[in-house]
């Protein structure tokens, strides 16, 4: 396995774990602050919009190169 292949796999695995961990943190934050359904929706919306922006950026890079 080359260094580039390892870096590609590590990026995918580590980012997936990071997003799952961030989702847990946001869920716990919303639960402790007694955020309602709308509050929890907004918290997760912002998290996943950030993830979607990162994925869209990667998609654009691959399409333009």
- 34 conformational bin, left if phi > 0, alpha if psi -120 to 50, beta if neither: left
Q: What's the confidence (pLDDT) of residue 24?
A: 95
Q: How confident is the model at residue 8 (pLDDT cuts 50, 70, 90)?
A: confident
Q: What's the confidence (pLDDT) of residue 18?
A: 92
39: Cβ contacts below 8 Å, ≥ 6 apart: 30, 33
Q: What's the confidence (pLDDT) of residue 1?
A: 83
DSSP code, position 36: -
pLDDT tens track for 11-65: 889 989 999 999 999 999 999 999 889 999 999 999 899 989 988 998 999 899 8
pLDDT tens track for 31-40: 999 988 999 9
Q: Are 23 and 43 in contact (CB under 8 A)?
A: no
Rounded CA gap, 20 and 10, in Å? 15
Rounded CA gap, 59 and 26, in Å? 26
């Amino acid at each position: 396995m080359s260094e580039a292949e390892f870096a590609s796999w590590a990026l995918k695995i580590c980012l997936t774990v990071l997003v799952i961990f961030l989702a847990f943190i946001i869920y716990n934050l919303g639960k402790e602050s007694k955020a309602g359904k709308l509050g929890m929706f907004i918290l997760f919306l912002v998290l996943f919009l950030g993830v979607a922006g990162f994925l869209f950026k990667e998609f654009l890079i691959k399409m333009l190169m």
